[in-house]
Amino acid sequence: MEEHHNYDARHMDSHPTPEEEPGEDMAPDRESIRRVVTLVGAPALLFILGIIFQTDLHDTPHAWAEYAVFLAAYFLAGGSIVWTAIRNLLRGEFFDENFLMTVATAGAIAIHQMSEAVGVMLFYRIGEFFQDLAIGRSRRSIEALTDIRPDYANLKVGDDVRQVFAKDVEVGQIIVVKPGERIPLDGRIVQGTSFVDTSALTGESVPKKVEANETVLSGMVNGDGLLEIKVEKGYAGSSISRILDLVQNASARKAKTEQFITKFSRYYTPIVTFGAVGLAIIPPLIIPGASFETWIYRALILLVISCPCALVVSIPLGYFAGLGSISRHGILVKGANFLEALTELHTVVFDKTGTLTKGVFRVIDVMTRNGFSRDELLRYAALAEVNSNHPIAKSIIEAYGRGVEANKVAEYQEISGHGIRARVNGDEVIAGNDRLMHREDIEHDSCDVAGTVVYVAVNRVFAGYIIISDEIKPDAVAAIQALRELRVKRIMMLTGDDQAVAEKVAERLGLDGYFAELLPEDKVKKLEDLESTLNRRDGQKLAFVGDGINDAPVIMRADVGIAMGGLSSDAAIEAADVVLMEGMPSRLGAAIKIARFTKRIVIQNISLALAVKMAFIALGAIGVATMWEAVFADVGVAILAILNSTRALGKA
């Protein structure tokens, strides 16, 4: 069964066939049917014939026929296992489950327990069949994502539209998306209005209205409008390609539980092997009347019972199923280790803008100073911000309400955590927060303005300030409530925004605390301070949730870094361990629930396997359990654990 132990989703690139529709998750495909007929059906038939005629053949001149029937069934069912064991031995790889199965069944044949030897291999193959079904179901839940990446795009060239491969479209070109088509590449709408179905990316079934100048992502399905989209990211960098890459590589990262079982098996199997040797040799030497045949048989039973298949198979499968389930909810987890870390969250720290608040800013007031008019102040600020993608910059440009000519701006410089310096028609313009005014030693009379404020200075003369508002996401309240219900002990906020704004948001959401007016490096320091208060021996973990490029260092520093969806900065998504594709903070609660459910399943599998095996090892050692009970203890428990693992796929 060695070939099935690496559930690396990177090798699952094929598209699902019609036989693999979601409604047929547990239905075997043609290859599975062929395998089960070859590896189970034929040996099972020979096995039944052997049992029926075993007594008739055993004590006759035709006894060789008994061996012929049973050995044919044995090698049909277990030939690959025997070959794998021999190959591993030649490589110096001892004591895996193939070795245990081969030694146990070969010993059974040697003491003429033919039917039991074949039964072990046969039921082992049946266990493999159920395992294949379970893996196939988990695989299909992930492979189904490949359907949401279109292979072609309608490229507009002049007045003509021609169909091309999506990977051949370059950034800056215009594509046309017709009603009912899936958007192939990320871009900005240049013409058209429509409703788009975002469920493939976010899990949200309610269509979203989009119009000119709005960003749309690959994988969304266009509704009833015709859209012309200017491509902003190439095929490899599109949202859906990033999703597929994240999901397909997630299973390569092992959870702590998986790592423990790998180490456990490394010691467990040799101990069992030498224990079986001792059981076969020592009792006959020290117990009067004890026969070697009896104790060798008990030792072989011990070897069969002790195969660690249920542990080796079901635990990674459980996490794999959990990763598949969580991806269907619009949540991408980059590895089983991060899925497990979500179960241990003690502290969750949120960024404010774009995470707890909408990040959709609106200018609500303009206050002028030193003879500047309202129009002049907005014009200078809009020109200074024209090259910025920050929502505050966009709100100022929108408030100005006229075309802004970027060619009038020179020497543009973003000052991290402070603002912008630029030269506009020869005038030096500085626009940013209160800290920037103090840093540049510009006299201003308005340091304690409540709200998000952009201060503007022209040629080092204070021109006034612009007050901007940002709304709290309706979903943010539900997010905090969900985390409280999940017994997350501490919920904090870090923001570079004004103290008064941060206090208002923290109070409305009922946070345990906040830190405001932080530079990116200050956020990292505050996060480290919060981490230092955790009890690491109890496994307490900290998560940071953010969306901006300035959040990337903090996201990387946290135990679990979480980025807010497809519209987050690329840097934040690349740095994150978890991506909430819908951009809704409440999805974190759903992620934690699925992660905890998956962890419970894994613990159940471990407990079941160890409890049953220990019980049957004891029974086998004293001669109560036969080889058939050993088969149940090995293959039966493996099947139960595998079926239990697939429950993670259905977690809502």
Catalytic position from the list 96, 186, 197, 351: 351
- Partner residues linked to 438 by β-bridges: none
Residues 276/299, Cβ–Cβ less than 8 Å: yes
Which residue is it, tokens 């959709």?
Answer: 360
Which residue is it, tokens 């079986």?
Answer: 276
Distance CA 92, CA 229 (A): 59
Which residue is it, tokens 């690349």?
Answer: 574
- Partner residues linked to 333 by β-bridges: 578
Distance CA 564, CA 588 (A): 10
Phi-psi region of 364 (alpha: psi -120 to 50; beta: other; left: phi over 0): alpha
Give every CB contact of residue 536 below 8 A, 6+ residues apart in sequence. Answer: none
Strands 208-210 and 560-563, how do they pair? Answer: unpaired
159 is catalytic: no
How long, in residues, is the chain? 652
Q: What angle do CA 498, 503, 509 make, to 5 degrees?
A: 130
Distance CA 176, CA 185 (A): 11
Residues 580/591, Cβ–Cβ less than 8 Å: yes
Give every CB contact of residue 91 below 8 A, 6+ residues apart in sequence. Answer: none
- Partner residues linked to 351 by β-bridges: 494
Residues 133/28, Cβ–Cβ less than 8 Å: yes
Give every CB contact of residue 271 below 8 A, 6+ residues apart in sequence. Answer: none
Q: Which of 287, 343, 377 is nearest to 622 (CA)?
A: 287
C-alpha 350: how far from chain center: 20
Strands 452-458 and 461-472, how do they pair? Answer: antiparallel
DSSP letter assigned to residue 576: -
* Strand-by-strand arrangement of the 194-197 sheet: 208-210, 194-197, 221-222
Which residue is it, tokens 């459980």?
Answer: 318
* Strand-by-strand arrangement of the 419-424 sheet: 357-368, 461-472, 452-458, 427-432, 419-424, 409-415
Give every CB contact of residue 360 below 8 A, 6+ residues apart in sequence. Answer: 391, 395, 470, 471
Give the SS3 label for residue 614.
helix
Q: Which residues of 2-38 are buried (b: 16+ CB within 10 A; e: fewer)?
A: beeeebebeebeeebeeebeeeebeebbeeeeebbee
Q: How far is CA 100 from CA 11, 88, 208, 629, in A?
A: 29, 12, 57, 16
Give me the active site residues, please.
351
